[in-house]
Structure 1
Amino acid sequence: MHPTQALATVRSLARAYQAFASYSETFVRQYDLTPAQFDVVATLGNTPGMTMGEIGEKTLITKGTLTGVVDRLEKKELVTREVPPENRRSVVVRLTPKGQQVFETVFPAHVDDIHQHLSSLDASELELLQVLLSRIQKAF
């Protein structure tokens, strides 16, 4: 492979990500959520709750940013923070009933929307894309 081919590939990958991120942000903002807030709500959906550390591991949100995201979700009454009696140094974040409703509305709508946008690719193309993206990730 020639270095310019590698650079062109990385540019295409970056442009595809930017297009998705921009579109996704516009989509979730319809529901008065930021992308990071949506990520937390989607991660907590259908779970009994998670510690801040677990949320950080499952999302792409840094620890410093995560605290502010959870603070704002708490102000919107979408999550609560609870200190479990068995481990008072830990904080568990859970969706409130209102947060669960938001999850049940926004998450399936977002998944359906992504599905529609990727419907021009067949199953084998999507599988190949996942393999190639995984290889690119491991290369770095």
Structure 2
Amino acid sequence: MKKNTLASLIWVRITRFTHQSALLSNDFLKQYDITVAQFDVLNQIGTYQPLSQSELADKITVSAGGISRMLSRLEREGHIKRTIEWKTKWISLTEKGEAKLDEVFEHQLAFQTSLIEDCLTISEQKTLYTLMTKVQRHTEKELNK
């Protein structure tokens, strides 16, 4: 029998939660005709626009091929616009994209918040936030080596 470390079990729990949260969110977001990945992309663009496709790829959890297909779809649907400046493709939201993000953001925020608030006390949430921030900053340092 393989022996798991506590750290590996924590990693498995984080991975499972992320996957299950995405599944629940996709189901929740169906009523807005948007997926979690599309919401994430619109939210990142809305926050940092204009940004390049490579900058966007660094901020989201979609593969390079997946992001190209998603951006093409969002552009066809009129949610984003891409402009080319020399060799860089800049991405920004259209009015329709801004409206979609405005329509969905507070609902998605409340939905995701409820997943945490329904099972953790404020004290537990603060502890988890502190610990996850520490782990995330460590992995960020590892990526930047």
What TM-score range do you get, normalising by the shorter chain? Answer: 0.7 to 0.9
Cα distance in structure 2, aligned partners of 1:49 and 1:110: 23
Over the aligned positions, Cα root-mean-square deviation in angstroms equals: 2.3
What is the CA-CA distance between 1:108 and the residue it aligns to? Answer: 1.5
Q: Structure 1 residues 89 and 8, CA, compared in 2 at 3 Å: closer, same or farther?
A: closer
Q: 1:19 matched to which residue of 2?
A: 20
Cα distance in structure 2, aligned partners of 1:62 and 1:31: 24
Percent identity over the alignment is 24
Cα distance in structure 1, aligned partners of 2:12 and 2:47: 36
Task: Name which of 100, 103, 106 aligns with 1:102.
Answer: 100
Q: 1:77 matched to which residue of 2?
A: 78
Q: Structure 1 residues 79 and 136, CA, compared in 2 at 3 Å: closer, same or farther?
A: same
Amino acid at match of 2:82: R
What is the CA-CA distance between 1:10 and the residue it aligns to? Answer: 4.2
Amino acid at match of 2:131: L
Query: Which structure: greater helix fraction?
Result: 2
**Alignment TM-score, normalising by the size of structure 1:** 0.80
Cα distance in structure 2, aligned partners of 1:37 and 1:22: 14
What is the CA-CA distance between 1:14 and the residue it aligns to? Answer: 3.5
Amino acid at match of 1:133: M
Gaps of 5+ in 1: none
Post-superposition CA distance 1:37-95 (Å, at most 9, x none) = 111101112443211011111111222221111000011110011123xxx10011111
Q: Structure 1 residues 61 and 11, CA, compared in 2 at 3 Å: closer, same or farther?
A: closer
Cα distance in structure 2, aligned partners of 1:36 and 1:56: 12
Q: 2:57 matched to which residue of 1?
A: 56
Structure 1 window deviating more from structure 2 (3-12 vs 112-121): it is: 3-12
Q: Structure 1 residues 91 and 10, CA, compared in 2 at 3 Å: closer, same or farther?
A: closer
Equivalent runs, 1:98-137 vs 2, <5 Å: 98-120=96-118, 121-134=120-133
| Aligned pairs, number | 135
What is the CA-CA distance between 1:4 and the residue it aligns to? Answer: 4.2
